[in-house]
Structure 1
Amino acid sequence: MTAVRPDPFFVGDSPALDFLNSIAAPRSVEIEWLGTGADVLDWLVQSGLLTDEEISVLRDHRHGAALDRAAKDIRAFREEFRSFVGGMSMANQVQDDHPMIEKLNRLMSRGALTLQLAQSETEGFDCQLKHRIQTADDLLPRIAAACAELISEADFTHVKRCEGSGCTLFFRDLSKNHRRRWCSMEVCGNRAKVAAHRKRS
């Protein structure tokens, strides 16, 4: 019987870090949430980076092969960005000539944005940015935009990797004293407490 894949983790307090966390080994078994093109579409909607409406055209089975190729490119970029984030969390400062800056700008230049009026949740209308998604190649620019937002907004001294044994998840430490240690207190934090209790006993 095939194990049911759990829902993706969204513990990063940043869509870009959640993107890095789209592959993880929460119980020593690696789980890939971007394995296929269909997986990528599902993850993008769950993460809030795109809406069902924006990607609806890609749900057609005719895009299947192109989506799978795009998923491969997205996974490769994820590992590039992981190396970048790992380096920046030690350097604490992003140099303006870092190759990742040029790469993100190049990727984002391929994307198309449009402004649209949409009904406000209160009253009247809001002017909203919409990502024009017409082909599978339009997905990576949206992910690149989220990664660029992290670089422009985050203090990399507060971008951390969970201290849980074997955990690979990243997060932005937005706690008041910047003392967050775990991706989740319910998972890694609790395991650490149990392990510490056993050691004391």
Structure 2
Amino acid sequence: MPVGQWFTSQGDVRWWFDSGALALDFAYTGPIGRVRADGERLRAPDDLTAWLSERFPVAVGAARSRDLFDAVALRDAITRIALAASRGDALPTNDIDVVNLYAATPDVPPALGGGSRQAGRSIQTVGQALSTIARDAVDTFSPANLGRIHECSADDCDLVYLDTSRAGTRRWCSMQRCGNRAKVRAHRARKSASKTAANESAVAA
């Protein structure tokens, strides 16, 4: 299942954000922090249907108003858990209960391609898709990932991601965005320091 999505910053600059987890991608269908304060994408059932169709390799039925209510409840719980985890705070008990509730229902079953018969439903329900997202959240926020839920290191960015790098040393939401800006600032600082040192040497001579 694909992870990551394109965001658009000021000036219509598009950049790729790999959150590291399906559950975190789902969290970013709503507003989170400063960078995504106006990021609500689930305004109607059709919006949820469209997002799920982009994410799941199997057909998922059309969302209804009740499905949208459930999706937003699950999403907001995941969001609060992610923010707490990124700050090293205790995970909110009520939100854990919400995630566990959705994770306890039937999910979208995995299937091996190449078979000659249809096994199970040809179209999965929105509830099954939400269960799959909830189960991914259970895995994402498990003790195995303790210390790997981070906030971007840039001073003006608060995007949260799961660090899936082998060394666990990821610092930026995206090298295209904050990582590149940090490199440019560091280069300018070195250049300025070198120029200052050269001027001081010239004066001393």
**Contact 2:152-2:171 within 8 A present in 1 as well:** yes
Q: Aligned match of 1:79 in 59, 76, 80?
A: 76
**Contact 2:152-2:158 within 8 A present in 1 as well:** yes
CA shift at 1:14, angstroms? 1.2
Partner of 2:150, secondary structure, is strand
CA shift at 1:19, angstroms? 1.8
Give me the TM-score of the superposition, normalised by structure 1.
Answer: 0.65
**Larger relative contact order (C-alpha < 8 A, sep ≥ 6)?**
1
Percent of aligned pairs sharing the same letter: 26
In the other structure, the counterpart of 2:99 is 104
Partner of 1:104, secondary structure, is helix
User: How many pairs were matched up?
Assistant: 180
Q: Aligned match of 2:85 in 74, 88, 97?
A: 88
Structure 1 stretches of 5 or more lacking a match?
Answer: none
Deviations 1:56-95 (A, max 9, x none): x31xxxx5xx24x533442343222222222234448869
Q: Aligned match of 1:11 in 4, 15, 18?
A: 18
Structure 2 stretches of 5 or more lacking a match?
Answer: 1-9, 193-205
Aligned residue type for 1:107: Y
**Contact 2:151-2:158 within 8 A present in 1 as well:** yes
CA distance in 1, matches of 2:114, 2:172: 39
The alignment status of 1:36 with 2:33, answered yes or no, reads no
Aligned residue type for 1:11: D
**For 1:1-201, what aligned pairs fall within 5 Å after superposition?**
11-23=18-30, 30-47=38-55, 50-51=56-57, 53-55=58-60, 57-58=61-62, 66-67=64-65, 69-91=66-88, 98-111=93-106, 118-119=113-114, 133-134=124-125, 136-152=126-142, 154-199=144-189, 201=192
Cα–Cα, structure 1 residues 45 and 115, in superposed 2: closer, same or farther, change >3 Å?
closer
Cα–Cα, structure 1 residues 112 and 181, in superposed 2: closer, same or farther, change >3 Å?
closer
Cα–Cα, structure 1 residues 46 and 185, in superposed 2: closer, same or farther, change >3 Å?
same
Partner of 2:141, secondary structure, is helix
Deviations 1:26-75 (A, max 9, x none): 9777333333322222222333xx23x431x31xxxx5xx24x5334423
Larger strand share, 1 or 2: 1
CA distance in 2, matches of 1:128, 1:187: 43
**Contact 2:106-2:128 within 8 A present in 1 as well:** yes
RMSD: 4.1
Cα–Cα, structure 1 residues 8 and 105, in superposed 2: closer, same or farther, change >3 Å?
farther
CA shift at 1:182, angstroms? 0.5
Partner of 2:169, secondary structure, is coil
